[in-house]
Each structure stands twice: as C-alpha cells, then as structure tokens.
C-alpha cells in the first residue's frame, strides 16, 4: 500500500489517519500539501482526512474541493484509483463531485462526538471485504455537519445501484433514521465504480486496542488486501 494523505489548511485528523495507516499496514503514508499538483509516484490510495478545512467558514469542504491537489485526485479516481474520504474528507469529496449529495447541519444542530453503531451494507467492495454484509460495527463520530442529503433521483440511484456502504443502526442492526438526520440513515456511500468511499464516522480512531475498540481496523485491512491482490 502506498497511501497519500492530503493536508489542507484546517485539516486536523491527518495525524490520526497516518498513524492508523502505519499501525495496520506497517508503511508510512505520504503527507501531500494542498497546493501540490501531483500525487507521489505510485500512490495507490488517496485519503482525504477529517478536520475543518478552511475553518468550514464557507460550505464545508467547498474551498478545499477547489484546491490544486484535487485535480490530481480526480485523475486518480477516474483511473479507478482508491480514494477514502472521512468526515470533512467526505464533505470535500461531495463538493469536488467525486461523490453525489451533500452534508448538512446535524438535525439537532449540535456537534456530536460519541460512539455509534453502523451496519455494513455490502462486503464486496475494496473498503469492506474484511467485514460481513449485515454486520454491525462500532465507530466514533465527531461532526456537526454529517446529515446526508441528496435529491430523490440521486437517492433512488444510490439505493438502486447498492452504493450505500454504511448506515447508522442500533447495536442489533436496526437502522436508526434519527441519528443525525441523514436520509436513509446513510453514514457512508460509494462511487459507481466502488473506488471512492465517503463516510462520516472515523474508522481511524478505532484501530488501536490500547485506546479502545478496533472495529475500524478491518476497513484498512480490506484496503491492504485489495491492493495486495491487485
């Protein structure tokens, strides 16, 4: 795995991400500055991490999505390269058009940092092959704007093409439509070619057994397995 973690001004979970990538893969990720126009040679995974790019003072992710480095990310994705976009990264990916829809203020208007459960909707993707479809995993969220919204047509397409990767749920797998207001309880979605995953929860914060649960670990193991198989 040769991962590149993007760094925009105001991003703040890039260290957590790099550390978890290192912990699971044993390899150091490259940190890529937002003004770079090219990704490091041989990059096979781009990670857009969480944080508050440009303070989220405009629409979340809107400014970062227009950074020079995003052109290179778009090319990488067009060629089928893997992109993992977490939290603010998910918002940036939506703003950049890598994924459809948008993330709005949480229904209860407050920032929420807590552990939640989400149901893995499919296990035949590069990001989820080490999970079982229908299984429930525990992951933390830390966001104020994670309320996924899309127009009816887009939502129907996402559901029809089976592109919802994760949904907020109870511990026993019952979908929770009221968690943050997200349509269809969407916590994460995939691109049509299944090579871009955007999700609000932070799998990178649930990797290290010393700190807590490790349900996020298999997402990174899935990526390693995918890239090794390629």
Partner 1 sequence: MIPNEPKITPELVAEHGLKPDEYERFRKLIGREPSFTELGIVSAMWNEHCSYKSSKVHLRGLPTKAPWVIQGPGENAGVIDIGDGLACVFKMESHNHPSFIEPYQGAATGVGGILRDVFTMGARPIACLNALRFGDPKHPRTRSLVSGVVAGIGGYGNSFGVPTVGGSVGFHPRYDGNILVNAMAVGLAEKDKIFYAKATGVGRPVVYLGSKTGRDGIHGATMASAEFGENSDEKRPTVQVGDPFAEKLLLEASLEIMAKGCVIAIQDMGAAGLTCSAVEMGAKGDLGVTLDLDSVPTREAAMTAYEMMLSESQERMLMVLKPEKEKEAEEIFKKWGLDFAIVGKTTDTSRFIVRYHGDVMADLPIKELGDQAPEYNRPYAEPKKLPVLDPQSVPCSVSIVEALQKLIGSPDLCSKRWVWEQYDHIILNNTIQRPGGDAAVVRVEDGPKALAMTTDVTPRYCEADPFEGGKQAVAEAWRNLTAVGARPLAITDNLNFGNPERPEIMGQFVYCVRGIAEACKVLDFPVVSGNVSLYNETNGRGILPTPTIGGVGVLDDLSKSATLVFKSEGEEILLVGDTKGWLGQSSFLATVLGREEGAPPPVDLALEKKNGDFVRSLIGQGLTTAVHDLSDGGLLVALAEMAMASGIGAVLKASPAGISPHAYWFGEDQARYLITMKSADLPKAVAAASKAGVLLRHLGTTGGRQLTLPGCDPILVSSLHKLHESWLPSYMAGELAV
User: Does residue 143 carry a catalytic annotation?
Assistant: no
| Distance between CA atoms of residues 68 and 149, nearest Å | 27
Name the segment binding partner 1 (CB under 8 A); options: 124-132, 155-163, 174-182, 202-210: 202-210
Residue that is written with structure tokens 């041989």 in the block:
42
- Size of the residue set binding partner 1 (CB under 8 A): 29
- Interface with partner 1 includes 68 (CB under 8 A)? no
What phi and psi, each to the nearest 5 degrees, are found at residue 122?
-150, 150
| Distance between CA atoms of residues 96 and 193, nearest Å | 16
- Binding test (CB under 8 A) with partner 1, winner from 57, 97, 133, 162: 57
Name the segment binding partner 1 (CB under 8 A); options: 109-117, 124-132, 157-165, 170-178: 109-117
- Interface with partner 1 includes 56 (CB under 8 A)? yes
Token digits of residue 106: 């949480």
- Interface with partner 1 includes 208 (CB under 8 A)? yes
Tally of helices (H runs) and strands (E runs) in the chain:
5, 11
- Interface with partner 1 includes 67 (CB under 8 A)? no
Of 87, 117, 121, 145, the catalytic one is 87
- Interface with partner 1 includes 95 (CB under 8 A)? no
Backbone angle region of 172, left / alpha / beta, with phi > 0 → left and psi within -120 to 50 → alpha = alpha
CB of 4 to partner 1, least distance (A): 19
Contact status, residue 73 vs residue 82, Cβ threshold 8 Å: no
CB of 86 to partner 1, least distance (A): 12
User: Does residue 204 carry a catalytic annotation?
Assistant: yes
- Interface with partner 1 includes 170 (CB under 8 A)? no
- Interface with partner 1 includes 173 (CB under 8 A)? no
Nearer to partner 1, 152 or 211 (CB): 211
As beta bridge partners, residue 31 has: 5
| Distance between CA atoms of residues 92 and 60, nearest Å | 7
- Interface with partner 1 includes 188 (CB under 8 A)? no
- Interface with partner 1 includes 117 (CB under 8 A)? no
CA quadruple 75, 80, 82, 88: dihedral, nearest 10:
50
| Distance between CA atoms of residues 99 and 191, nearest Å | 6
User: Does residue 34 carry a catalytic annotation?
Assistant: no
Nearer to partner 1, 142 or 227 (CB): 142
| Distance between CA atoms of residues 64 and 1, nearest Å | 25
| Distance between CA atoms of residues 29 and 37, nearest Å | 18
Site residues for partner 1 per CB under 8 A: 9-10, 12-13, 15-16, 19-20, 51-52, 54-57, 110-114, 140, 142, 144, 202, 204-205, 207-208, 210-211
What positions carry a catalytic annotation?
87, 202, 204
């Amino acid at each position: 795995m040769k991962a590149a973690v993007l760094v925009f001004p105001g991003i703040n979970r890039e260290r957590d991400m790099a550390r978890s990538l290192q912990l699971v893969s044993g390899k150091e990720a490259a940190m890529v500055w937002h003004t770079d126009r090219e990704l490091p040679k041989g990059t096979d995974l781009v990670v857009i991490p969480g944080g508050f790019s440009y303070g989220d003072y405009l629409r979340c992710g809107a400014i970062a999505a227009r950074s020079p480095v995003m052109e290179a990310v778009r090319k990488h994705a067009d060629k089928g390269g893997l992109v993992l976009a977490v939290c603010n990264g998910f918002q940036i990916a939506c703003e950049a058009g890598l994924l459809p829809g948008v993330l709005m203020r949480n229904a209860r208007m407050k920032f929420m940092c807590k552990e939640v459960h989400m149901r893995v909707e499919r296990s035949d993707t590069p990001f989820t092959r080490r999970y079982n479809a229908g299984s429930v995993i525990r992951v933390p969220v830390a966001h104020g704007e994670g309320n996924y919204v899309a127009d009816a047509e887009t939502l129907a397409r996402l559901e029809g093409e089976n592109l919802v990767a994760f949904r907020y749920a109870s511990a026993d797998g019952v979908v929770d439509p009221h968690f943050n207001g997200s349509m269809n309880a969407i916590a994460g979605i995939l691109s049509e070619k299944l090579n871009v995953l955007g999700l609000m929860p932070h799998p990178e914060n649930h990797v290290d057994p010393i700190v807590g649960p490790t349900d996020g670990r298999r997402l990174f193991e899935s990526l390693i397995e995918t890239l090794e198989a390629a």
